[in-house]
Amino acid sequence: MYYEKSVSWVEQIVSEQNAWRTHTINLIASENVLSRRARALMGSDFVHRYAEGHPGERYYQGTDKIDEIEIRVKKHLKTLFDCRQVDVRPISGTVVNDAVFSQYIDPGDIVLVNSTAGGGHISHHKVGSVGKYTRNIIDFPLTPDGYHVDVDKTIGLIRTVHPKVLVLGKSLFLFPEPVAALAEEAKKANALIIYDAAHVLGLIAGKRFQDPLGEGADVITASTHKTFPGSQRGIAISNMKDPEWRTIDKGAFPGSSSNHHLDTLVPLAVTTYEMLEFGEAYADQTIRNAKALGHALSESGFDVQAKDFDFTESHQLAVDVTRFGRGDEVARMLKDNNIILNMNLLPFEPLENVTNPAGVRIGAQEMTRMGMKEAEMKEIASFFKQCLIDGKFVGDEVVAFRNDYQSVHYSYDAQQKGGEREKGLQEGPVSVTA
């Protein structure tokens, strides 16, 4: 009886989650949704199985089928990112960061990173992965707006302190990083450039943000479930030649992982095919939506950051919400109205504000994937205004609005001739054959 009650309780919670979150406006910048076809492959026999090492070189028998999938997904990821090397075995973005950092950062090495308030991810800092290997961590200087690295000051810093590693990429990530502007100076200093693309991997795949490897980065690390709408895993990408790439390889296995969660590797293959076919259109619409939402919120009276730079070049927006309370309070108010986002430090805030910051972070990628466009971004901005400025409860209106967006879309710009209804290309049009 205890077992049945307990399991029924878990099942009920899952059912409630499924029902609730499909009727919210999800603006968490680090989340996305799998297509139904990709999600349907989870829970197969692979959920029970184990694989260590590379395909064809496993430490276990019985891996023939996952070997086929892993070989194929790596091949197509190399095509998608136009790169020489890919490792798909790390099981998260932070794990792949640790795999790379562990191989290149030694005690005493100097590492340049984006500060927490400047958008840097926790794994880049003293309390995270970099801090496991060195305490000599220096923040990149920022331009006065706070959302760009100051290139001239950074070049001066490289010449002065001779860093071993530069970690570019952010968690609050509105604009491309100055990879090309720093690459030559980093090379002179024999410094490695690691580009954490966790948030913008899908935009890079869609050729709409920047090309870090082409601009001079040595390694890209990323998670695969933010703007890249796959399962929750990590990935390393590079153009290194094989002898040097083996360093990254060892960091991934046995350095940071053993079995690499085969059940989530399978849907990543499906998402890779989706991005090969629809990634450019998806990335383009995501950025267009983020800009449209930024303009609509600003016109509604919100202090959307980086206005002088058209708010964003990515899927994200940053908003100073101190007019309405602190970031955590505003996020809770919006959640009570079925709008989901997260509080976030803004540039130059003291670190002690991390649990009570001045800002919130908004991501447009998931609602874009659900078929929303610029017009819907204006409606979302209206919900913000009604909730935070007018003091109205709009939770029911949000649910009614979201009811019309229940299917994953892969393409947004293909229209039939004669002005007929736009092709949605919804739910599973993607072939998973080679």
Q: Which CATH architecture has domain 278-419?
A: Alpha-Beta Complex (3.90)
Domain boundaries, the chain: 39-271, 278-419
**Which residues does residue 167 pair with via DSSP β-bridges, in sequence order?**
113, 194
H-helix segments, 300-340: 327-335
Are the CB atoms for 278 and 411 separated by under 8 Å?
A: yes
Walk along the chain (434 residues) and give the pLDDT tens digit of each residue.
Answer: 788 899 999 999 999 999 999 999 999 999 999 999 999 999 999 999 999 988 998 889 999 999 999 999 999 999 999 999 999 999 999 999 999 999 999 999 999 999 999 999 999 988 999 999 999 999 999 999 999 999 999 999 999 999 999 999 999 999 999 999 999 999 999 999 999 999 999 999 999 999 999 999 999 999 999 999 999 999 999 999 998 999 998 888 887 888 899 999 999 999 999 999 999 999 999 999 999 999 999 999 999 999 999 999 999 999 999 999 999 999 999 999 999 999 999 999 999 999 999 999 999 999 999 999 999 999 999 999 999 999 999 999 999 999 999 999 963 223 333 333 333 344 433 333 33
Query: What is residue 307's predicted lDDT score, i.e. its pLDDT?
Result: 98
Q: Decide: residue 8, CB within 10 A, 0-12 exposed, 13-18 middle, 19+ buried.
A: exposed
- Burial code of 33-71, b = ≥16 C-beta within 10 A, e = fewer? bbbebbeebeeeebeeebbbebbeebeeeebeebeebbe
Q: CA dist 194 to 107, 124, 186, 288, 316, Å?
A: 18, 11, 11, 28, 21
Query: What is residue 335's predicted lDDT score, i.e. its pLDDT?
Result: 98
**Ramachandran region, residue 119 (left: φ > 0; alpha: ψ -120 to 50; beta: rest):** left
> What would the two tokens of residue 431 be?
């072939």
The residues near 329 (Cβ < 8 Å, ≥ 6 apart) are none
Query: What is residue 312's predicted lDDT score, i.e. its pLDDT?
Result: 98
d(C-alpha 18, C-alpha 225), whole Å? 18
> What would the two tokens of residue 163 be?
């860093």
Are the CB atoms for 289 and 377 separated by under 8 Å?
A: yes
**Ramachandran region, residue 385 (left: φ > 0; alpha: ψ -120 to 50; beta: rest):** alpha
Query: What is residue 410's predicted lDDT score, i.e. its pLDDT?
Result: 61
Query: What is residue 434's predicted lDDT score, i.e. its pLDDT?
Result: 30
The residues near 41 (Cβ < 8 Å, ≥ 6 apart) are 266, 267, 270
Q: Which CATH architecture has domain 39-271?
A: 3-Layer(aba) Sandwich (3.40)
d(C-alpha 78, C-alpha 73), whole Å? 9
> What would the two tokens of residue 164 be?
């071993």
d(C-alpha 30, C-alpha 256), whole Å? 22
Query: What is residue 3's predicted lDDT score, i.e. its pLDDT?
Result: 87
pTM summary value: 0.93
Query: What is residue 216's predicted lDDT score, i.e. its pLDDT?
Result: 98
Lateral strand order in the sheet of 85-87? 85-87, 234-238, 219-223, 192-196, 165-168, 110-113, 136-139
- Please count the other Cβ atoms lying within 10 Å of the Cβ belonging to residue 11: 10
